[in-house]
């Protein structure tokens, strides 16, 4: 799977900063450039591990879900882990 476009990465970076602003969530000593590098790296990791993620999903879900639905499923699981602080 291809990585996000530069504009999509920029939008993700901007949206993340708005979200942490709304939640008053400090990012330590991180600069904007540091955070952007992290966004890029996470996107690259997702792209590099798409096949492994897909393989991890058992059948019949792997065959039944669309790529978009699988991504959404991952988002839900990660969000729940985030809420619980796991």
Interface residues with other proteins (CB under 8 A) are: 10, 13-14, 17-18, 20-33, 35
CB atoms under 10 Å from CB of 39, counted, come to 20
Task: Give whichever of 18 and 62 is closer to other proteins, judged by the CB atom.
Answer: 18
Give me the residue label for tokens 């796991």.
86
* CA torsion through residues 10, 83, 23, 34, sign: negative
Minimum distance from CB of 26 to other proteins (Å)?
5
Residue 14 C-beta-side C-alpha neighbours within 13 Å: 6
Other C-beta atoms closer than 10 Å to the C-beta of 28 total 5
CB 3 → other proteins: shortest distance, Å? Answer: 19
CB of 19 or CB of 64, closer to other proteins: 19
Shortest distance, CB of residue 47 to other proteins, whole angstroms? 22
Which CB sits closer to other proteins, 25 or 68?
25
């Amino acid at each position: 799977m291809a990585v996000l476009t530069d504009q999509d990465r920029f939008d993700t970076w901007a949206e993340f900063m708005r979200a942490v602003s709304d939640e008053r969530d400090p990012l330590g000593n991180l600069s904007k450039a540091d955070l952007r590098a992290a966004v890029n790296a996470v996107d690259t990791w997702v792209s590099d591990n798409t096949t492994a993620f897909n393989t991890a999903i058992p059948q019949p879900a792997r065959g039944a879900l669309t790529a978009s639905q699988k991504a959404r499923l991952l988002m839900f699981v990660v969000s729940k882990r985030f809420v619980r602080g796991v």
